[in-house]
């Protein structure tokens, strides 16, 4: 009786933890990135995860952490606009191949 209850308890717990780990591990589905004077940038995170299927397409440059870009700039591991260049360079390269991609013009990303 005692054994059964403990086993049931453990499996309920591990399912709960798996759910939390999955949600936290992928981060927000969409986010607004601080874009300085030309205005903030709306970023569809989940769409990129689904399309690119490679977290390191972006996270090689900064960790999987809210505010990672600002922290990197403050710590000197990232220069201003390094993260932006990563967005732009990929969009330009995909566009050159004729594949569906994201915006490349300033005002298509930055909105006041």
What residue ranges bind ligand HEC (CB under 6 A)?
25-28, 31, 33, 35-38, 41, 43-45, 47-49, 51-52, 55, 57-59, 64-70, 80-84, 86-88, 90-91, 94, 100-106, 108-110
Closer Cβ to ligand HEC, 13 or 106, answer by number: 106
Are residues 46 and 26 in contact, defined by beta-carbon separation less than 8 angstroms?
A: yes
Closer Cβ to ligand HEC, 9 or 38, answer by number: 38
Separation between Cα atoms, residue 55 and residue 52, nearest integer Å: 8
Q: What angle do CA 95, 97, 98 make, to 5 degrees?
A: 65
């Amino acid at each position: 009786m005692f054994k059964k209850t403990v086993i049931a308890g453990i499996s309920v717990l591990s399912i709960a933890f798996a759910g939390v780990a999955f949600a936290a591990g992928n981060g927000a589905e969409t986010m607004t990135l601080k874009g300085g004077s030309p205005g903030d940038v709306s970023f569809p995170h989940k769409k990129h995860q689904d399309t690119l299927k490679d977290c390191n397409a972006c996270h090689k440059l900064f960790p999987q952490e809210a505010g990672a870009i600002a922290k990197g700039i403050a710590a000197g591991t990232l220069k201003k606009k390094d993260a932006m260049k990563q967005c732009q360079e990929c969009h330009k390269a995909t566009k050159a191949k004729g594949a569906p991609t994201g915006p490349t013009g300033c005002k298509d990303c930055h909105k006041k």
